[in-house]
């Protein structure tokens, strides 16, 4: 008899309790909470937000910007003549730890009769995935639009590199101590003292324009309107991943220029919605804790009762 009570279908009880609990916790996490990402004021579109417009129809691929960037960030710089070497264009290049920006060249296609040169660097997203993903919050989106990285916080986990939709952050794999995450900082130190980014300042053909993002958008659209035959009718960066500080206009479709297939929704959107769902003011974890506590209490009491009955039975 006692044995029977003890083994009274523990599996069924377990499954029942398990099912109820799962349903309850899922239910709790579905309670509507503010899932829209909460951004600091500096992260919202505002008048101080600056950016750069890149015009691929003007860029001649002189790589002055590459050199100027290295100088501005105190990296070892080769002679200017080495930057005139166009053989580097044979291979598609990406930014590296001591090269925040690179220019790539694509063969002429569509309306373009000349090779198309495209500068690559951090896009400085309006809602940066790196800043959202970083385990310690080492990235900051500034009111000026720049996304910068703080060496004093970074632990070198490289999750920013996993998160970035443009695959921009690079890591110093060859350093055993204090390896850095390296990426374009939109010349944060220069712009703070009223200068413009080094690449923009050193572009000899005016392919780069620095200014308030809103104005750059108008300028970009005006360019397309004035020369509808010269441009592909799209400003890359206006809506991509929720908008970026860098904006691009080009003679051909952007996918032909190796722009990644990103959508218009901000890269951290889904993740932050999930995070806020699971951690809605700590309600779901606490609910789970108390439910498990309740189950434990009930089961403990049940077990004690059975034990007591068994003991009494023995006495009799």
Partner 1 sequence: MSELIYPQPVKAKFFTPGMIIVSLIALNGIVFLAIRFLFGIGAVTNLNNQYPWGIWIGVDVAAGVVLAAGGFVSAAMGHIFHLPYMKLVVRPALLTAMLGYTFVAFAVFVDIGRWYYIWHPLVMWNGTSPLFEVGICVMIYLTVLYIEFTPILTERFRGKVNLPSILRVFNGLVEWILKLLDNTLGKVMFLFLIAGVVLSTLHQSSLGTLMVIAGYKMHPLWQTPILPLLFFISAVCVGIPMIIFESLIASRSFKIEPEMHVLSKIAGYVPLLLGIYLAFKLGDMFIRQSFVYMTEINKFSIAFIIEIVFGVILPMIMLMSRRVLNSPFWLFIASALVVLGVGINRINNFIIAYRPFYAKSAYIPSFGEISVTLGCIALTVILYRAIVMIFPVISLPKQDDLKELKHNRG
Residues numbered 18-77 forming contacts with partner 1, rule: CB under 8 A = 18, 25, 37
Task: Count residues binding partner 1 (CB under 8 A).
Answer: 71
List phi, psi (to 5°) of 179.
Answer: -65, 140
| 292 contacts partner 1 (rule: CB under 8 A) | yes
DSSP per-residue string spanning 194-242: TPPPHHHHT-TT--EEEEEHHHHHHHHHHHHHH-TTTS-S--BTSSGGG
Which residues inside 167-206 make contact with partner 1, applying CB under 8 A? 167, 169-179
310 contributes a contact to partner 1 by CB under 8 A = no
Binding residues for partner 1 restricted to 125-164, rule: CB under 8 A? 129, 132-138, 153-159, 161-163
**Does residue 248 contact residue 232 with C-beta atoms inside 8 Å?**
no
Q: How far is the CB of 51 from partner 1 (least distance, A)?
A: 22
Q: Is 266 left (phi over 0), alpha (psi -120 to 50) or beta?
A: beta
Stretch that binds partner 1, among 60-68, 90-98, 245-253, 308-316 (CB under 8 A): 90-98
> In terms of CB distance, is 115 or 179 closer to partner 1?
179
Report the nearest approach of partner 1 to the CB of residue 274 (Å): 5
Among 187, 254, 268, 280, binds partner 1 (CB under 8 A): 268
Report the distance separating Cα 108 and Cα 164, nearest Å: 29
CB of residue 270 to partner 1, shortest distance in Å: 5
Q: What is the distance between the alpha carbons of residues 157 and 140, in angstroms, rounded to a whole number?
A: 17
Q: How far is the CB of 196 from partner 1 (least distance, A)?
A: 28
Fill in the DSSP letter of residue 44. S
Contact between residue 123 and residue 245 where contact means Cβ atoms under 8 Å apart: yes
**Residue 178: CB minimum distance to partner 1, A:** 7
Quick note: the x/- pattern for partner 1 over 234-263, rule CB under 8 A, is ------------------------x-xxxx
The only residue of 14, 108, 205, 311 in contact with partner 1, by rule CB under 8 A: 14
Residue 83, helix vs strand vs coil: helix
- Three-class SS of 251-283: CCCHHHHCCCCCCCCCCCHHHHHHHHHHCHHHH
**Interface segment toward partner 1; rule CB under 8 A; list 7-15, 49-57, 110-118, 224-232:** 7-15
Contact between 260 and 166 (Cβ < 8 Å): yes
Chain center to CA of 306: 57
296 near partner 1, judged by CB under 8 A: yes
Going by C-beta distance under 8 Å and a sequence separation of 6 or more, which residues neighbour residue 58?
205, 206, 207
Taking the complex as a whole, the smallest distance from the CB of residue 292 to partner 1 amounts, in Å, to 5
State the nearest-atom distance from the C-beta of 194 to partner 1, in Å: 31
């Amino acid at each position: 008899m006692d044995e029977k009570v003890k083994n009274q279908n523990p599996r069924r009880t377990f499954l029942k309790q398990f099912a109820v609990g799962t349903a309850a916790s899922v239910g709790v996490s579905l309670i509507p909470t503010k899932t829209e990402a909460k951004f600091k004021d500096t992260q919202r579109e505002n008048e101080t937000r600056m950016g750069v417009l890149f015009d691929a129809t003007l860029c001649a691929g002189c790589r002055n910007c590459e050199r100027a960037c290295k100088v501005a960030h105190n990296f070892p710089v080769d002679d200017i003549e080495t930057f005139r070497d166009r053989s580097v264009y044979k291979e598609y290049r990406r930014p590296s730890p001591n090269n925040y920006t690179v220019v790539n060249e694509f063969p002429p296609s569509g309306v373009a009769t000349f090779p198309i040169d495209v500068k690559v660097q951090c896009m400085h997203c309006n809602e940066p995935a790196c800043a959202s993903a970083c385990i310690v919050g080492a990235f900051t989106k500034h009111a000026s639009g720049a996304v910068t990285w703080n060496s004093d916080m970074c632990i070198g986990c490289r999750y920013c590199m996993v998160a970035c939709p443009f695959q921009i952050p690079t890591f110093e794999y060859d350093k055993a101590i204090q390896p850095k995450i390296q990426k374009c900082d939109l010349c944060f130190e220069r712009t703070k003292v009223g200068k413009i980014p080094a690449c923009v300042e050193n572009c000899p053909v005016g392919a780069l324009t620095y200014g308030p993002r809103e104005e750059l958008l108008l300028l970009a659209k005006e360019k397309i309107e004035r020369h509808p035959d010269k441009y592909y009718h799209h400003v890359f960066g206006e809506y991509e991943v929720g908008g970026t500080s860098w904006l691009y206009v080009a003679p051909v479709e952007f996918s032909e220029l190796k722009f990644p297939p990103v959508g218009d929704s901000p890269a951290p959107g889904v993740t932050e919605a999930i995070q806020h769902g699971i951690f809605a003011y700590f309600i779901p974890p606490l609910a789970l804790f108390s439910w498990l506590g309740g189950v434990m209490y009930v089961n403990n009491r049940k077990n004690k009762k059975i034990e007591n009955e068994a003991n009494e039975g023995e006495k009799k």
